[in-house]
C-alpha cells in the first residue's frame, strides 16, 4: 500500500476524527469569500450604488477581511493542534511498526493537502451559493435604492484559493515540524500526559487592556456616518482584547488561589 492510498484510507475510515477540522476550515473559507466578493463587486468597487460612501465602506470591509484572516489563522491553528494531538499515539504505533519519520511527514502532508483542498472547494462553493443572500443583506443594511445584483468576482475566487491554500500549507509545515520534534515515547504517552499549567504573562494582560481601551474609545467617538467603516476594527480590537484579558486574568486568579490554598 502506498502512502497516498494509506492517507485516503485514513480519511475514509476515520472521517469522524477529520470532520471537526474539515468543518472549521470550510467555515473560514466560506466567510472570507463572502466579504471579499462584496469588496470586489463592481457595484461596490466602482461606487455605483454607494456614491461617496463607497470608499469608506470598502475600507471597513477590507479591515474586516484582515480581522477575519487573523482569526482564521488562530482558529485553524487551534483545530490543527487539537487534531494532531489526538493522533500522536497513532504516529507512535506507526513508528514502532517501522514507518520512518520521513514517511510520517509525507503521510501528514498528503492528508492535510487532501482535506485542505476539499475545504477550499466546499467553502468556496457554499460561499458562492450564499453570496446572493449576503448581497441582499448588505443592501438592506446599507439602505441602497437597488439591491446588489449577483456576481462572482474572478479575483475574489482566485484570492480566496491562493490565501487559504498558502495558509493551510504553512500550517501543515508547522504541524510536520512539531511532529518531527516528538520522540516515540512522547507520542505514545501523549494522551496520558497532563497538560502543563499556563503561565501568567503580564505583558499580554496589559496588551489586552490596551486593545479593549482602544476598541471602546473608537466606539465612543464613532458616529452613524463612520459606523460601518469602524465597526469591524472595533470588533477585532474588543475580541482580541477580551481574549487576552480573560485568559491571562483567569491564569492570574488561578495562581493566586493556588498560592492561598
Claim: this prediction has a pTM higher than 0.85: no
Closest CA to 17 of 111, 155, 125: 111
Alpha-carbon span 5 to 107, nearest angstrom: 10
Model confidence pLDDT, tens digit, residues 38-69: 888 887 777 666 555 556 666 666 766 777 77
Least confident of 119-123, 174-178, 196-200, 256-260: 196-200
**182-217 burial, b for 16+ CB within 10 Å, e for fewer?**
beeeebbebeeeeeeeeebeeebbebbeebbeebee
pLDDT tens column, 101-157: 777 778 778 888 888 899 999 999 999 999 989 888 888 877 777 778 889 999 999
* CA diameter of the chain: 67
* Average pLDDT of the residues of the chain: 76
Per the CB < 8 A criterion, the answer to whether 60 and 231 are in contact is yes
User: Could you tell me the CA-to-CA distances from 40 to 91, 105, 235 in Å, in that order?
Assistant: 44, 38, 22
Torsion of CA 96, 98, 99, 100, to 10 degrees: 100
Residue 122 has a CB neighbour count (10 Å cut-off) of: 17
Amino acid at each position: 500500500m502506498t502512502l497516498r492510498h494509506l492517507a485516503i484510507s485514513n480519511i475514509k475510515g476515520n472521517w469522524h476524527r477529520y470532520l471537526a477540522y474539515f468543518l472549521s476550515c470550510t467555515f473560514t473559507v466560506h466567510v472570507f469569500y463572502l466579504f471579499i466578493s462584496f469588496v470586489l463587486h463592481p457595484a461596490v468597487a466602482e461606487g455605483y450604488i454607494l456614491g461617496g460612501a463607497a470608499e469608506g465602506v470598502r475600507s471597513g470591509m477590507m479591515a474586516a477581511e484582515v480581522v477575519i484572516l487573523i482569526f482564521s489563522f488562530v482558529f485553524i491553528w487551534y483545530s490543527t493542534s487539537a487534531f494532531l494531538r489526538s493522533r500522536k499515539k497513532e504516529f507512535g504505533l506507526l513508528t514502532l511498526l517501522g514507518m520512518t519519520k520521513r514517511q510520517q511527514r509525507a503521510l501528514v502532508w498528503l492528508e492535510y493537502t487532501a482535506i485542505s483542498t476539499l475545504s477550499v472547494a466546499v467553502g468556496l462553493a457554499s460561499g458562492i451559493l450564499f453570496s446572493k443572500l449576503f448581497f441582499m443583506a448588505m443592501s438592506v443594511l446599507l439602505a441602497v435604492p437597488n439591491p446588489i445584483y449577483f456576481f462572482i468576482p474572478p479575483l475574489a475566487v482566485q484570492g480566496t484559493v491562493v490565501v487559504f491554500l498558502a495558509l493551510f500549507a504553512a500550517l501543515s509545515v508547522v504541524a510536520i515540524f512539531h511532529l518531527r520534534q516528538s520522540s516515540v515515547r512522547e507520542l505514545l504517552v501523549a494522551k496520558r500526559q497532563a497538560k502543563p499549567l499556563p503561565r501568567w504573562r503580564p505583558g499580554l494582560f496589559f496588551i489586552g487592556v490596551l486593545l479593549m481601551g482602544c476598541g471602546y474609545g473608537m466606539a465612543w467617538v464613532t458616529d452613524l456616518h463612520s459606523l460601518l467603516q469602524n465597526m469591524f476594527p472595533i470588533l477585532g480590537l474588543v475580541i482580541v482584547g477580551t481574549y487576552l484579558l480573560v485568559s491571562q486574568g483567569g491564569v492570574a486568579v488561578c495562581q493566586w488561589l493556588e498560592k492561598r490554598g
